[in-house]
Structure 1
Amino acid sequence: MNFVDPAFFLLFLPIALLIFYAAGRLGGGQLAAMAYGLASVVFCVPFGWRFVAVTLGSMLINGVICGALVSDRPGPSQRRWLLRLGVTSNLLMLGLFKYIPAFTTIRPIGAVAPILLAWVPITISFMTFQRLVLLVDCYRRDPPAVAMIRKGRGGAVWFVAFTMGFANLLIGPIAFAREIAPQLLSRRFGRVRLIDIEVGLTLLTIGLFKKLVIADTLGTDMVDPVFKAIASHHAVLGIDACVAIPAYYAQLYFDFSGYSDMALGVARMFGLRLPFNFNSPLRATGIADFYRRWHITLTRIVARFLFQALSLRGARLARRRKWKGVRRSLFELWLPLTINFLVIGLWHGAAWTFALFGLVHGTWYTIETEVRSWPSFRNWSRRSSDRLRTALGQMVTLIPLALTFALFRSGTLGDYRRLLMAAWHRLPVSAAPPNTQVVHSGQWAELAAAFAIIWLLPNAMELLSRYRPGIVTFAVPSHTPRWLALRWRPNWLWGVFVALLMVCVLRMCGYSTPFVYGGF
């Protein structure tokens, strides 16, 4: 079951909400949390009993270790061993079910890979990272994590609700205990609030519209035919290749941000506010600005637990060896940034395309960081206007990002090379004759409309800002034109708008494709 399945939003979700609020009225927040946790288990059942067994087994192991970490019995050394055990068990599970099947060319692994893929048919990366973050919070005895797990005899109920919550179980966003635990433990949890239902339903509808009406249309009409032809070593027309690159950039945004809006909406219907995962990333004015807007919850976790640790070690090493200049920057900033982005790339899967994607973004981020530290750049920034800096930043950011995400979409480095050759009208000699043109005049209008929405209209975070639809992680400037800075209100006019979006969704729900990030 997933969010775009009509059985989910027309049957499962209404029933789960009715049971949740009935449980909250009869037994308070703890019984409501139990209903939410049980609904999450039911949500996983369509993926097969093996996936349910892996998910619950992982939850049980992490629950036992988290409970021991927040108790008073283990000493410092025992707590360190418990943390290592928890981190190792989670990473082993992630490696077993996600990365080992990628090495199918190795004979023993090739025989086992189909079995592993049958056990976990969808992503477990988000779920694993969510539990790893909670383990670290418990080790550090972060007060919200401790309060959630040690809440009387019902600590297990709150733990299950946090780690198994189906709103963000499969494709995020990844939340910290300090963000969710206070909401779960609040006296208001499980109580009916009309504004939660209204905001949540609006977010869910916007997300469904992004995914089904925009992302899937772009993918079917402009992206998939070109990339499939490239993968089959068929030549494609240069115009089709040039359109497929930005079209995939837009498709990926609407697909993943649409899912994130749905997750925010579903959680809000249950009275929970999740952290935002997107904040108009395609309006970014640089690679640093992009990663404050794109996949925000993954960015902050990798930066917190990997980059900061590596940078601190590099700074200590440079200070101990009395290094300065290039050598100090290399160990204190450049290498940590490169490793940070390499991990972000490989997090998506064990492929050379993902590794190169991470290395390119890491190198780009490093160069941009150094350029922004130059006195001449700072002087220019002080003298120039915000509008000029924004326009120039977006211009120099758009094309490189679109090209690197085309690498992200390509199956192999060879496919990416053929795509670029086609885009430059230099088709490989060995390619089959080109197919007819894929992109027609009506599809050009679709692509233009998609980028108009991206660049001009307020995102879901801005649209519903009066009602706090989610938790803001990074504060970034809004580039929405003032005359289009619309704000949602719970009135009949916006109700009609949301109803029209839902009509469009229902017309398209039979033609949905899997989420792009569903395989990561």
Structure 2
Amino acid sequence: MLFTTQSFLLGFLPATLLLFHLCAGRRVARQLVLVGASLLFYGFWNWRFVPALVALTLLNWGLGRAWAASGRRIWPIGGIVINLLTLGFFKYANFFADSVAHLAGWRHLAWAITLPLGISFFTFQKIAYHADLLRGARPVRSALDFLEFVTFFPQLIAGPIVRHHEIVPQFDTDPHGPDLWENLSRGAMLLLLGLAKKVGLADTLAQTCNPLFDQAAHGAALNLAQGWVAALSYTLEIFFDFSGYSDMAIGMALLFGLRLPFNFDVPYRATSIRQFWQRWHMTLSRFLRDYLYIPLGGNRHGAVRQSANLFATMALGGLWHGAGWTFVAWGVLHGLALSVNHAWTRLASRLALRLP
């Protein structure tokens, strides 16, 4: 059940909103409505994964409580490892096995592994949670709070990637407080804006570029005009598709009185690749920055080390998008572009200092 389907927009969402606002004055009741609705939403994709989603979420919560009780770093570190192994098995097992088999000259028959919907997003949220615990953040006390933080259906399958300290404190806020009508009006506006982006623009552009890419995939040569049409229409499609989903998620969250971080800030108006990544999928960019690039050393150890850190960060960011060497290559190219951008900035700064 996708955000753009009639069953979601005319059935699931209105019913959930009605139940939520009927019991909005009772914290536990409204949380149970949201958690129950979120698990039902996930179950529409594949109900067999709902128990696993709940079990892994509660396991991560339990590891946080163990950290609070003992102060031993093994608990959040164990949480990070468990989440990485889970993501690695479901998303990358076949990719790595196939790569090793290819290098060794073996034949690998792909394992029948079903990729859980949204696993890349909610796994990163749990990894960020444990990393924040290691940095001194307070663990979530309530299991219900943690379940709502991880499974909240507007951001469950396509982000934004939310940190626990951004949303868990909001669970105490009365959704029928003074911001009720502002949240409802802004939420409805963002929901409709995102829907228009996705259905009206992205899906229309897909009808233009997808046939051209299909022709190229089957060996047909595209002429110059077709190549440009395919490239430009896909460039716009991917933005309107992803930012549309993000706008819908943020808008729906407001309908429930919750504020999610914005994910896009007109990225195609960026004047450099560095600025582009500060505007595109911003919650992923900050995750890669805070939990990978900076821990690797960031820009603290000279230009060569900074470039290596950028390459590693963006290569792993590419792999997060998909299990394939093309995604790794895409990430490496962005790492190269960012390295050149930083080098150019340093050179321009030095030249400016030398001018009279």
Paired with 2:189 and 2:349, the residues of 1 have a C-alpha distance of 46
Deviation at 1:218, TM superposition (A): 0.5
- Asked if the contact 1:104/1:110 (under 8 Å) is kept, the reply is no
**For each residue in 1:156-210, what CA deviation from the matched residue of structure 2 results, as whole angstroms up to 9, or x when unmatched?**
1111111110110111001112211221122x24658222221111111110110
- Asked if the contact 2:63/2:79 (under 8 Å) is kept, the reply is yes
What percent of counterpart residues are identical? 35
- Name the counterpart of 2:252: 266
Sort the Cα spacing of 1:13 and 1:308 in 2 relative to 1 into closer, same or farther, 3 A: same
Give secondary structure in 2 for the equivalent of 1:56: helix
Deviation at 1:85, TM superposition (A): 1.3
What TM-score comes out, normalization by structure 2 length?
0.91
- Structure 1 residue corresponding to 2:153, chosen from 160, 163, 166: 166
Paired with 1:110 and 1:270, the residues of 2 have a C-alpha distance of 46
1:86 pairs with 2:63: no
**For each residue in 1:368-422, what CA deviation from the matched residue of structure 2 results, as whole angstroms up to 9, or x when unmatched?**
1111122467739x9xxxxxxxxxxxxxxxxxxxxxxxxxxxxxxxxxxxxxxxx
Paired with 1:375 and 1:247, the residues of 2 have a C-alpha distance of 34
- Asked if the contact 1:29/1:190 (under 8 Å) is kept, the reply is no
Paired with 1:268 and 1:108, the residues of 2 have a C-alpha distance of 51
Give secondary structure in 1 for the equivalent of 2:239: helix
- Asked if the contact 1:20/1:190 (under 8 Å) is kept, the reply is no
Q: Residues 365-444 of structure 1 correspond to what in structure 2 (within 5 A)?
A: 365-375=338-348, 379=352
Paired with 1:278 and 1:261, the residues of 2 have a C-alpha distance of 9
Give secondary structure in 2 for the equivalent of 1:110: coil
Sort the Cα spacing of 1:110 and 1:104 in 2 relative to 1 into closer, same or farther, 3 A: farther
- Name the counterpart of 1:130: 125
Paired with 2:97 and 2:310, the residues of 1 have a C-alpha distance of 31
- Asked if the contact 1:202/1:265 (under 8 Å) is kept, the reply is yes
- Asked if the contact 2:27/2:171 (under 8 Å) is kept, the reply is yes
**For each residue in 1:335-390, what CA deviation from the matched residue of structure 2 results, as whole angstroms up to 9, or x when unmatched?**
1111111111111122121111111111111111111122467739x9xxxxxxxx
Deviation at 1:272, TM superposition (A): 0.6
Deviation at 1:84, TM superposition (A): 2.1
**For each residue in 1:319-338, what CA deviation from the matched residue of structure 2 results, as whole angstroms up to 9, or x when unmatched?**
xxxxxxxxx4212x111111
Sort the Cα spacing of 1:231 and 1:123 in 2 relative to 1 into closer, same or farther, 3 A: farther
Task: Specify the code of the residue in structure 2 equivalent to 1:184.
Answer: F
1:250 pairs with 2:236: yes
Deviation at 1:64, TM superposition (A): 1.1
Task: Specify the code of the residue in structure 2 equivalent to 1:338.
Answer: F
Task: Specify the code of the residue in structure 1 equivalent to 2:89.
Answer: L
- Asked if the contact 1:342/1:355 (under 8 Å) is kept, the reply is yes
Deviation at 1:103, TM superposition (A): 5.2
**For each residue in 1:268-325, what CA deviation from the matched residue of structure 2 results, as whole angstroms up to 9, or x when unmatched?**
000011001100001110001000100100000111111101116x84xx6xxxxxxx
Paired with 1:52 and 1:266, the residues of 2 have a C-alpha distance of 22
- Name the counterpart of 1:41: 39
- Name the counterpart of 1:57: 55
**For each residue in 1:430-475, what CA deviation from the matched residue of structure 2 results, as whole angstroms up to 9, or x when unmatched?**
xxxxxxxxxxxxxxxxxxxxxxxxxxxxxxxxxxxxxxxxxxxxxx
Task: Specify the code of the residue in structure 1 equivalent to 2:310.
Answer: L
- Structure 2 residue corresponding to 1:344, chosen from 304, 317, 342: 317
What TM-score comes out, normalization by structure 1 length?
0.63
Paired with 2:276 and 2:205, the residues of 1 have a C-alpha distance of 22
Paired with 1:209 and 1:378, the residues of 2 have a C-alpha distance of 47
Paired with 1:122 and 1:91, the residues of 2 have a C-alpha distance of 16
Deviation at 1:109, TM superposition (A): 6.0
Give secondary structure in 1 for the equivalent of 2:42: helix
Using CA pairs below 8 Å that are at least 6 residues apart, which structure has the higher relative contact order?
1
Give secondary structure in 2 for the equivalent of 1:95: helix
Sort the Cα spacing of 1:6 and 1:378 in 2 relative to 1 into closer, same or farther, 3 A: farther
- Asked if the contact 1:372/1:378 (under 8 Å) is kept, the reply is no
Deviation at 1:53, TM superposition (A): 2.6
- Structure 2 residue corresponding to 1:241, chosen from 227, 239, 262: 227
Alignment size in residue pairs: 348
Deviation at 1:234, TM superposition (A): 1.6
Give secondary structure in 1 for the equivalent of 2:24: helix
- Name the counterpart of 1:95: 88
Question: Structure 1 stretch 232-241 or stretch 8-17: which is displaced more?
Answer: 232-241
Give secondary structure in 2 for the equivalent of 1:292: helix
Sort the Cα spacing of 1:252 and 1:337 in 2 relative to 1 into closer, same or farther, 3 A: same
Deviation at 1:104, TM superposition (A): 7.1
Deviation at 1:83, TM superposition (A): 1.7
Deviation at 1:68, TM superposition (A): 1.5
Sort the Cα spacing of 1:343 and 1:103 in 2 relative to 1 into closer, same or farther, 3 A: closer
Sort the Cα spacing of 1:38 and 1:232 in 2 relative to 1 into closer, same or farther, 3 A: same
- Name the counterpart of 2:200: 213
Paired with 1:109 and 1:83, the residues of 2 have a C-alpha distance of 35
Paired with 1:378 and 1:278, the residues of 2 have a C-alpha distance of 33
- Asked if the contact 2:273/2:338 (under 8 Å) is kept, the reply is yes
Give secondary structure in 1 for the equivalent of 2:162: coil
Sort the Cα spacing of 1:135 and 1:3 in 2 relative to 1 into closer, same or farther, 3 A: same
Task: Specify the code of the residue in structure 2 equivalent to 1:62.
Answer: N
Task: Specify the code of the residue in structure 2 equivalent to 1:96.
Answer: F
Runs of 4+ in 1 over 4 A off after TM superposition: 103-109, 375-378
- Asked if the contact 1:183/1:272 (under 8 Å) is kept, the reply is yes
Q: Which structure has the greater CA radius of gyration?
A: 1
Q: Please, which runs of 5 or more residues in structure 2 have no aligned partner? A: none
1:74 pairs with 2:60: no
Give secondary structure in 2 for the equivalent of 1:168: helix
The alignment yields a C-alpha RMSD, in angstroms, of: 2.3
- Asked if the contact 1:100/1:109 (under 8 Å) is kept, the reply is no
Q: Please, which runs of 5 or more residues in structure 1 have no aligned partner? A: 319-327, 383-520
